[in-house]
Amino acid sequence: MGKEANLFKSRPSFNLLKGKKGLVGAEIGVAGGANAIAILNNLDIKRLYLIDQYIPYRGLQYHGVWGEKDEPHKIKEKAIENLYPYNDKVTWIFKLSEEAVYDINEQLDFVYIDANHRYEYVKKDIELYLPKIKKDGIICGHDFNHEKGVTKAVKEIFGNVFEFSRWDWWKKIEEM
């Protein structure tokens, strides 16, 4: 089993999407593109919006953001190269997620959040993208048990009505 297959397997939320046809989704926080490739290779994707601004935050580093010492432009170039074979299915949006939401003019089957892990950013991403999710779609993300900001935002918005694993959290949208 390859790296991409293992990565996909570690995202239990995506099991809810297996077997569905023509999925439209978004990934917030693309980095090098490994998770996007796993999604594209394991689900029937019609369109995948890839949202990452690839700009360092001044005075911040880690917790899902590029620091001043990182080289996000090199990671961006590598991600574009890695995802080139999927150009017919991906739409890049090189903006902050709070701006990118307005560039998506269709309902989504899923949103995967793995960008800035600080509480206020995770909360804002959930609030902005939740209305974009179709009934029976999912909103999900990474680093649930490893980033206090992620854990706090997810619990504050969904209470105890969501699922989680070692790394990921997810919520099936029953009605919108």
Going along the chain from its start, the domains and CATH numbers come out as 3-172 (3.40.50.150)
pLDDT along the chain (176 residues), means of 10: 68 92 97 94 97 75 55 87 98 97 98 91 97 96 84 94 90 81
Cα–Cα dist 144/151, whole Å: 5
Strands 45-51, 23-28: pairing kind = parallel
pLDDT at 80: 97
Exposed / middle / buried, residue 24 (Cβ in 10 Å: 0-12, 13-18, 19+):
buried
pLDDT at 168: 92
pLDDT at 149: 87
pLDDT at 113: 96
pLDDT at 9: 79
